[in-house]
């Protein structure tokens, strides 16, 4: 479940949630926790017939992480692992600008918005490394190299966790 994809789907379908989230995505700001957490929970609850979940881009704040833990307890699940892809900011800027040429994401086409997204990560998300490290659930994967290289590193890690 990718919260970014869910927001973009709601924006293109012009739903109430999409209208609420649009200005945040356009600026590269995080969408408020209350909106994001509710959306994630609804998505999980409407896809229950599965063996597990991979969340992409969630949680991104301490509040989201804590809410996720209590929500998962309420449905008898728990977080097994958190994986961060480690890439330096210059490489990310160049990848995002390249992606911005082939998608319609305004937040991938403007360097100031990209820098704002890094700032959101550094001020609100990076503290989660410590949160999950203390529970022995944090794993970092080298994000340098080709898509195939990184995919195979991710598969190796996930296989080792099962």
Residues of this chain that interact with ligand AMP (CB under 6 A) are: 3-4, 7, 24-25, 28-31, 36, 57-58, 60, 64, 107, 117
Considering just the CA atoms, what is the radius of gyration of the chain in Å?
16
Q: Are 4 and 56 in contact (CB under 8 A)?
A: yes
In the complex, the smallest distance separating the C-beta of residue 160 from ligand AMP, rounded to whole angstroms, is 25
With respect to ligand AMP, which residue has the nearer C-beta, 121 or 138?
A: 121
With respect to ligand AMP, which residue has the nearer C-beta, 22 or 153?
A: 22
With respect to ligand AMP, which residue has the nearer C-beta, 28 or 100?
A: 28
User: Which pair of tokens denotes residue 137?
Assistant: 């659930």
Give the CB-nearest residue to ligand AMP. 4
22 φ, ψ (degrees, to nearest 5): -55, -45
């Amino acid at each position: 479940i990718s919260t970014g994809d869910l927001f973009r789907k709601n924006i293109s379908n012009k739903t109430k949630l999409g209208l609420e989230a649009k200005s945040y995505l356009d600026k590269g700001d995080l969408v408020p926790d209350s909106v994001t957490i509710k959306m994630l929970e609804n998505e999980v609850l409407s896809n229950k017939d599965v063996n597990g979940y991979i969340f992409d881009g969630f949680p991104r704040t301490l509040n989201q992480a804590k809410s996720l833990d209590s929500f998962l307890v309420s449905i008898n699940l728990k977080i097994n692992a958190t994986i961060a892809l480690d890439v330096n900011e210059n490489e990310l800027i160049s990848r995002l600008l390249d992606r911005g040429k082939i998608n319609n994401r305004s937040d991938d086409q403007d360097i100031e918005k990209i820098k704002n997204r890094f700032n959101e990560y550094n001020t609100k998300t990076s503290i989660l490394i410590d949160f999950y490290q203390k529970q022995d659930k944090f794993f970092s994967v080298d994000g340098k190299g080709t898509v195939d290289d990184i995919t195979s590193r991710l598969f190796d890690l996930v296989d080792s966790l099962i």
